[in-house]
Structure 1
Amino acid sequence: MDRMRAVRLHLPTRTLSVQEVAKPVPGPGEVLVKVGAAGVCLSDVHLADGTLTPLYLEGESVTLGHEVAGTVETLGPGVGGWTAGQRVVLQAGERRGGRTHTRGVDYDGGWAEYAVASATTLVALPSTLPLEQAAIIPDAVSTPWAAVTGTGDVRPAQAVGVWGAGGLGAHAVQLLRAVGAYPVIAVDPHPAARDRALHFGADLALDSGDPLLREQVLGATGGAGLEAAFDFAGAPPVREQALSVLAPKGRLVLVGLSDQPLTVDRSTRFSYLQHRILGHYGSEEHHVAQLVRLAEGGRLDFSRSITDVLPLEEVATAVRRMETKEGAPVRLILRP
Structure 2
Amino acid sequence: MKAAVYKSPGQPLELSEIPTPTPGEGEVLIKVAATGVCHSDLHVLDGEMIPPPEGFILGHEVSGWVVEFGPRCENPHGLSPGDPVVVSWIIPCGKCYWCVRGQENYCPYAAARMPGLVGINGGHAEYMTVPETAIYPIPKGLDVHNAAVISCAYGTAYRALKEAGVGPGTSLVVVGAGGVGLAAVELAVALGAYPIVAVDVREAALKKAQEVGASHVINAAERNAIGAIREALPQGTDVVYETKPNPDLKIALEVVRRGGTIVVTGLGASTIEIPAMHLVMNGIRIVGSLGYKPRTDIPELLALAAVGKIKPEKIISHRYKPENINEAYNNLRQGKHHRALIIWNP
Whether these two folds match at TM > 0.5 is: yes
Per the alignment, residue 40 of structure 1 pairs with 37
Count of aligned pairs between the two proteins: 325
Per the alignment, residue 157 of structure 2 pairs with 144
Q: 1:177·1:201 contact (CA, 8 Å) conserved in 2?
A: yes
SS at match of 1:10: coil
Q: 1:9·1:64 contact (CA, 8 Å) conserved in 2?
A: yes
Structure 2: state its 5+ residue gaps: 94-107
1:88 counterpart letter in structure 2: V
Q: 2:115·2:122 contact (CA, 8 Å) conserved in 1?
A: yes
Per the alignment, residue 287 of structure 2 pairs with 278
> Residues 298-333 of structure 1: CA distance to partner in whole angstroms, max 9, x if unpaired?
22111212212222122122112212123x432233
Structure 1 residues 121-132: aligned runs within 5 Å = 121-132=134-145
- Please say if 1:71 is aligned against 2:65: yes
Per the alignment, residue 130 of structure 2 pairs with 117
Structure 1 residues 148-297: aligned runs within 5 Å = 148-149=161-162, 151-209=163-221, 212-221=224-233, 223-235=234-246, 237=248, 239-265=249-275, 267-285=276-294, 286-297=296-307
Give, in whole Å, the separation in 2 of the partners of 1:197 and 1:13: 32
Per the alignment, residue 332 of structure 1 pairs with 341
Per the alignment, residue 103 of structure 2 pairs with none
- More displaced, 124-133 or 162-171? 124-133
Give, in whole Å, the separation in 2 of the partners of 1:215 and 1:12: 40
Shift of 1:142: 0.4
Per the alignment, residue 323 of structure 1 pairs with 333
Over the aligned positions, Cα root-mean-square deviation in angstroms equals 1.9
Q: 1:43·1:52 contact (CA, 8 Å) conserved in 2?
A: no
Q: 1:156·1:179 contact (CA, 8 Å) conserved in 2?
A: yes
TM-score w.r.t. length of structure 2: 0.88
**Where has structure 1 moved over 6 Å in runs of 4 or more?**
none
TM-score w.r.t. length of structure 1: 0.91
2:206 counterpart letter in structure 1: R
Shift of 1:11: 2.7
Structure 1: state its 5+ residue gaps: none
Give the 3 Å change call, closer, same or farther, for CA 154–308 of structure 1 in structure 2. Answer: same
Give, in whole Å, the separation in 2 of the partners of 1:215 and 1:323: 28
Give, in whole Å, the separation in 1 of the partners of 2:224 and 2:13: 44
The structure that is strand-richer by fraction is 1
Identity %: 31
